[in-house]
Amino acid sequence: MNKSTFVVYTAIANGYDSLKPILPLWRDEAVFVAFMDKPQAVPGWEIRPLHNVFKDPCRNAKIHKILPHKYFPEAEYSLWIDGSVRLKSKLPLRDWVDQYLSEHDLALHKHWCRNCVYEEGAACLHFKWDSPTVIHRQMGKYFSEGYPSQNGLAECGMIFRRHTHAIEQLNELWWKEITEGSRRDQLSINYSCHKLGVKYAYFPGTILDTPHFHWLQHTTPRSRPTRTARVKSKNAPRKQRKILAKAK
């Protein structure tokens, strides 16, 4: 496999994160690309302009995350990493393909504390991560279509893809859900996979405990709950019931 086969990429808007050093082990295996509106000079990274059409900077960054086939049409594999991620993997990228994409074209982390998109919707309401109206409408749509509860929940800080036609279709549907619904991509990834029958592999551990990267604090702080606060939130179950009640 030549270097252009693999792309490791990220996107950072408004200086929300700092660009982390590349992984030396992968220096000769992949092209590293960062989409940024405030470029940072970090050796090994190719800096490209960030999408700037949306008023929402989150969506300007997220379009790169969701649609790698549009930005890297020649790549065979891509690995998305959030701007808060510092890579530490000891596996060569070619071994990642054998380990995580031998049976599937997509690999993600299992959510560390939730297993249901409706629970995730309740958490988004509780922590005010997006518009309640948008979240209720989106969850109501999924419920009315018969999307099951407790159907798994992926966490999307790291996304490893093989660029097949099926994955392109998934990317496009996922982006449609984000543009028409919540910008919170974890509300729509499992629904999109379910809708298209796309199966995916799990990385070991969770984003909080993984052999492949360190998950760091964002450069620009936001209201992100602590691990204890996420687990022990008393209002989340009530708001989950409210989501299901509205959906019915």
Which CATH number covers residue 196? 3.90.550.10
Q: Which residues constitute the domain of residue 201? A: 3-114+148-222
**Which pTM does this prediction carry?**
0.88
Strand boundaries in the chain, DSSP class E: 6-12, 31-36, 45-49, 77-81, 85-87, 106-110, 154-162, 201-202, 213-215
Arithmetic mean of pLDDT, 62-81:
97
Residue 51: pLDDT band (50, 70, 90) is very high
Residue 212 belongs to some domain of the structure: yes
**Per-residue confidence (pLDDT) for residue 224, from 0 to 100:** 46
**Per-residue confidence (pLDDT) for residue 225, from 0 to 100:** 43
Residue 168 belongs to some domain of the structure: yes
Residue 48 belongs to some domain of the structure: yes
> Count of domains in the chain?
1
Residue 176 belongs to some domain of the structure: yes
Residue 82: pLDDT band (50, 70, 90) is very high
Neighbouring C-alpha atoms within 13 Å toward the C-beta of 123? 23
